[in-house]
Amino acid sequence: MTTESPETIDQYIASFPIDVQPVLESVRQTIHEAVPGVGETISYQMPTITVDGKSLVHFAGWKHHISMYPLPEGDAEFEKAIDPYRSAKATAKFPLNKPIPLDLVARITELLAARH
């Protein structure tokens, strides 16, 4: 990842190692499929998905994981599924050395959109 601030999500993703880029792109695509018609921007130097110009969810690449912020509250099934990835009350960390649970990425996005 470069130290320059990206202006677009495409630039952000391109700044990562070649093996991480498809992972970030799959998270991005999953979010778009979960909530069609969302917008995109860079906020806090990370990809931000927006609804009506307001932030819905952020995702970010790190050396060993992909994070999503914020985490919504969900039912017991959701809480059980997110628990292994929760690193703080409102943050999920998905390790890069394991497949990203895209179904959970979609669920996070859907829950946030329902409360937006």
Helix boundaries (H) for 17-85? 21-34, 76-82
The domain limits of the chain are: 9-115
What mean pLDDT value characterizes the chain?
94
> Looking at residues 7-27, what average pLDDT do you find?
96
* Confidence band for 34, pLDDT divided at 50, 70 and 90: very high
CA distance 42 to 95: 22
pLDDT higher than threshold 50 for residue 14: yes
Cα–Cα distance list, 115 to 56, 62, 78, 88, 110 (Å): 10, 27, 15, 20, 9
**Residue 48 CA to its chain's centroid (Å):** 8
- Compute the distance between CA of residue 56 and CA of residue 51 in angstroms, rounded to an integer: 6
How is domain 9-115 classified at the architecture level of CATH?
A: Alpha-Beta Complex (3.90)
Q: How many residues does the chain have?
A: 116
Q: How far apart are the first and last CA of the chain?
A: 31
For the whole model, what pTM was predicted? 0.91
Kindly indicate the confidence band of residue 2, based on its pLDDT and cuts at 50, 70 and 90.
very low
Q: What is the pLDDT of residues 55-109, one digit of tens each?
A: 999 999 999 999 999 999 889 999 999 999 999 889 999 999 999 999 999 999 9
